[in-house]
Amino acid sequence: MRSLTEEETKVVFEKLANYIGRNITFLIDNKEDPHVFRLQKDRVYYVNEKIAKYATAIARQNLMSLGICFGKFTKTGKFRLHITSLEYISKYAKYKIWIKQNGEMPYLYGNNVLKAHIGKMSDDIPEHAGVVIFNMNDIPLGFGVSAKSTIDTRNLQPNGIVAFRQADIGEYLRDEDTLFT
């Protein structure tokens, strides 16, 4: 497990900024409970600083994971967020979409968010911005990218796509064999 290089940190923070904006500082600059980002193989983990120091005593080949997996680097060098980071992304999200109960199951089965399923949404969501999807009880279900801005969504047909799904909590069941390997 090692620290991220400057280029890797830039790529990770750009992706996180798409979803939580300037709230990244809450992840890093927490004086009471400091956390750091660490890389193990191609996965980026968010780890308590004390635990990260203890983990240096373990050989890399013997360490499977540590902390919360925020995502992984693809072979092309891009960074993909994992559903395991939803707890932190939802806490600090800039843009949110709440879906009705009739839209929860289609979303959790891996479909995009349709206008007919929207209960409410944040004002001023731009097109192609990172959004967090909640149910009407404020339980985070996943995250994605807005297909249309808030203004364009009002004029959309009921079967029009409002947000493209990136990850949802249904992945814990659908991809349980490959999620943590």
Inside any domain, residue 47 = yes
**pLDDT tens by residue, 99-140:** 999 999 999 999 999 999 999 999 999 999 999 999 999 999
Same domain, 105 and 167: yes
106 and 151 both lie in a single domain: yes
**Is residue 137, in this structure, part of any structural domain at all?**
yes
Flag whether pLDDT at 94 surpasses 90.
yes
- How many of the other CB atoms lie within 10 Å of CB of 18? 17
Is residue 52 included in any domain, yes or no?
yes
Q: Is the pTM of this model over 0.85?
A: yes
Distance CA 126, CA 150 (A): 7
pLDDT at 180 over 70: no
- Kindly tell me the burial class for residue 155, based on how many C-beta atoms sit within 10 Å of its own C-beta (0-12, 13-18, 19 or more): exposed
Q: What is the CATH number of the domain that holds 27?
A: 3.10.450.220
Contact 90, 134 (CB under 8 A): yes
Domains in the chain, number: 2
The reply to whether 64 and 129 lie within a common domain is no
- 115, 123, 149 from 155: Cα distances, Å: 10, 15, 10
pLDDT band per the 50, 70, 90 thresholds, residue 150: very high
Instruction: Give pLDDT, residue 56.
Output: 83
CB atoms near residue 156 (< 10 Å): 16
Residues 44 and 120 in one domain: no
Mean pLDDT within 36-60: 89
